[in-house]
Amino acid sequence: MDQLIDELIKLAFAEDVGDGDHTTLSCIPETAMGRSQLIIKEDGVLAGVEMAKRIFHHFDPSLKVTVFIQDGTEVKVGDIALRVEGKVQSLLQTERLMLNVMQRMSGIATTTRKYVKALEGTKTRVLDTRKTTPGMRMIEKEAVKIGGGVNHRIGLFDMILLKDNHVDFAGGITQAITRAQDYLKAKGKDLKIEIEVRNFDELEEAMRVGGIDRIMLDNFNIENTKEAVRRIAGRFETESSGGITFATLRDYAECGVDYISVGALTHSVKSLDMSLKAF
């Protein structure tokens, strides 16, 4: 994860600064010193403070960052999250990348917290998905955790998730599961197996085969979700996915599923408004 984040920061500076921030270099003396503060302009959940520190220190290790509000804290308009001081040239060249990351992460954390609060009183946890911005998955999934959500698999490498296309190409539920089990044994890997089912016939087949950890109920309505949970009876973890909105979130949770996966946590959030201003 650290390596991927470092590469993201390096790439982000390469595309933004290029061969130099000629605006800053032309009007700000190299020796000029200053300080800026991060001002919250919209209520929400703060996320990305640790990333901001990494961005500042990657560009200029001499920048001094003072943090007043930690990741995961609910913030209000006018709050000062952090201050940074050092070379003005460095402050100006790091400003946009830091804001882009913190605004994006805070938007995800804020949205996630909304879903988490809607599930209070149930056993259900909200999961993210792989519907993330290319290159930014690690920090977007970290923002979900900061907001109180749970990470599903990080990528294709840390869990086996047999979705509808895998099942269809493999020739069915039984073939997909048994091939996955054989693969893990042959490779000496210890990964969880999740199978997506689209109807009760597939559900019953998956349970007969067994050797799986979680069953994803894909596009099941409320009534069928309740029946599926009853049939599974705690033998496997359960996850609801597909067609679930914030308005129906609680209804699905009350069916007794362990998890609800929500792509909207990362693929369509609004960034939280904030600004970095000299003072």
205: β partners = none
* Residue 189 designated active-site: no
Closest CA relative to residue 84, chosen from 35, 24, 49, 47: 35
**Beta pairing class for 80-87 and 125-127:** unpaired
* Residue 96 designated active-site: yes
Do 126 and 115 meet the contact criterion of CB atoms below 8 Å apart? yes
φ, ψ for residue 197, nearest 5 deg? -120, 145
| Catalytic, out of 95, 202, 218, 258 | 218
**Beta pairing class for 237-241 and 214-218:** parallel
Task: Count CA atoms closer than 13 A to 143's CA, side-chain side.
Answer: 34
Closest CA relative to residue 195, chosen from 230, 156, 238: 238
| Catalytic, out of 128, 140, 194, 196 | 196
Residues with Cβ within 8 Å of residue 50, at least 6 apart in sequence: 71
Distance CA 70, CA 184 (A): 40
| Catalytic, out of 35, 41, 131, 226 | 131
SS3 47: coil
Which value, in Å, is the radius of gyration of the alpha carbons in the chain? 23
| Catalytic, out of 41, 53, 83, 96 | 96
List, by residue number, the catalytic residues. Answer: 96, 131, 163, 196, 218
